[in-house]
Chains A and B, each alone.
Chain A
Amino acid sequence: MKGSGWDDTSAAVQLWAVSKTYGNGATGLRDVTLEVFAGEFVFVTGHSGSGKSTLLKLLYGAERPTAGRVMVGGHAVPDLDVVGLARLRRHLGLVFQDGKLIPQRTVAENAALALKTRGYGRREIERRLAAALKLVGLQTKAHCFPAQLSGGEQQRAGIARAVVHTPQLLLADEPTGNLDPDNAWQVVQIFKKLHALGTTVVVSTHDETLVRAAKHRVIRLQGGAIAGAAAPLSVSAL
């Protein structure tokens, strides 16, 4: 399958009885069923090893489930071939704990990658870049290399790359893990702005304070399963 379209009519994310066991026998996820609707802002919380990162990896296709079904934007992610997965990722924005910036490229060049792979023209790239860098507060650092930025700025540069193409779904895996409280709150505010523009946001974090302050739906994972889940759709909202 080489599907590239994004199905707005279905839920942004759907998991049915998804389990993931790694080659070494470690359990990533156990029988997880959940749904994230388009336009939602959801936190995935849990201790280290609870399965947060595994869940997000399954959503952007870096891992395949051992059992169950993973649907993102109307596509069964494990069924996508390499090209199909690349096309699906064009609808996603991915943020990681360490920013995942290319050290030899400037902030602007890193952020522009997401646009270049989508075939945008130079003017459109410049227009979108300016807006994205303004959103994350890095207008004056566009020509800096990652090594010239602080940890918080590097994270925001990674966010700029993730949002520059206005994705349908933003997946952030421990985006505040390396940041102090002020920078962490700044990052959450950026996500909120993006959410206000209509993007579905899924953020994994172990920072309960941040989750409580943000006031959004929370999915709690424990030992790879949804915590306290009796029913398949076990979601608690704060």
Chain B
Amino acid sequence: MALLLFLVGTGLQSAWLLENTLEGMGDRLEISVYLTDGTDAIQMQTRFLQVAGVERVEWIAKEVAWQRLQADLGEDGSALGLNPLADELRVRAQDPVGAVAAQLSQFPGVEEVWYAKEALTRLQELRQALTYVSVAIVGVCTAIALATLVTTIRLIVFARRREIEILQLVGATPRWIYLPFVMQGGSFGLVGGAIAWAVLALLTRALEPIWAVQPELIRSLTGGSLFDWRTRWLLPLVLLGFGGLVGILGSLLAVNRFARRSPDLNLAEGG
């Protein structure tokens, strides 16, 4: 049970991490437009702003870009010689970004248009695949946990069969007899959920220092989702709720057969 819930929790955290990453990339969906030499960047900036879907256009002069590149490269920058860069217009656009980029590439004076379409598509595919794999794993683990729980509860019922028979003889209804077993199943689930959450919380804490030394880009893309409100509050609720549900469902399945059966006790002996 705890293993199932640990896998559920891991899957959920991974999905949230990817979701945050996608949202982070979505925020950065900028189109870089490189202009041919001699094109008036300010004039192009004005024309781009009139295109539907364009929210903002920032001009980065090739001299500025050149200075930034040289600063990044340090001493090696001087070996590059003359400035090979073109004027760039950074366009922030609404979705669909591809349509806006296609439109911008039609303008005369535009040499090249580039945006992070490929990476975004791959991440979306990854999220989709992760969702399918998670659902499959959780499904299989749930079935295993249910089977284990049903067997466990049935063994407990079997071990207490004499007591149950006596309760039946004194007029206890099936609900009165089997409710404690259902509650026991539910408590198994809750304990499993608590264990899974504790392990996940410990792992997350252990990852914290590793996370802190990752490049700024990775940290900013994922929006610090390792420790966001979902991990802190939603995850334990999901784990406890799902655990309790599986526990109750499993124990109901286990006792249903006994509870519906008319007592056929064969208790009395003799003639």
Chain A: residues with CB nearer than 8 A to chain B? Answer: 46-53, 56-57, 60-64, 81-83, 85-90, 92, 94, 96-98, 100-102, 113-114, 117-118, 161, 173-174, 177, 204, 206, 221
Contact = CB atoms under 8 A, between A and B. Distances in A.
A48 B267 CA distance: 16
A114 B170 contact: yes
A100 B172 contact: no
A174 B268 CA distance: 9
Contacts of B122: none
B206 to A, nearest CB: 44
Interface in B150-178: 162-163, 165-174, 176
A55 to B, nearest CB: 9
Nearest to B264: A62
Contact of A117 (B176, B263, B269): B176
Chief secondary structure at chain B's binding surface: loop
Nearest to A89: B171
Given A82-B260, A82-B263, A102-B162, A118 B171 contact: yes
Nearest to A96: B268
Interface string B234-271: 00000000000000000000000001111111111111
Nearest to B175: A83
B166 A85 contact: no
Interface residues of B, number: 26
Contacts, number: 99
A89 B270 contact: no
Nearest to A78: B262
In order of increasing CB-CB distance, the 5 nearest A-B pairs are: A90-B171, A89-B171, A117-B172, A52-B271, A173-B268
Contacts of B168: 86, 89
Contacts of A98: 269
B263 A114 contact: no
A86 B264 CA distance: 13
Contacts of B162: 102
5 contacts: A113-B167, A113-B170, A118-B171, A173-B268, A206-B270
Contacts of B270: 48, 52-53, 97, 173-174, 177, 204, 206
B119 to A, nearest CB: 62
B234 to A, nearest CB: 40
A62 B171 contact: no
Contacts of B174: 82-83, 86
Given A46-B271, A47-B271, A62-B267, A102 B163 contact: yes
Contacts of B266: 57, 62-63
A99 to B, nearest CB: 10
Contact of B267 (A81, A100, A102, A221): A100
A16 B49 CA distance: 98
Contacts of A206: 270-271
Tell me which of B169, B267, B268, B269 has the highest count of chain A C-beta atoms within 10 A of its own C-beta.
B268
A61 B263 contact: yes
A50 B271 CA distance: 5
Contacts of B172: 86, 113, 117
A63 B271 contact: no
Given A49-B271, A63-B266, A173-B269, 7 more contacts: A61-B263, A83-B173, A89-B170, A100-B169, A102-B162, A113-B172, A117-B167
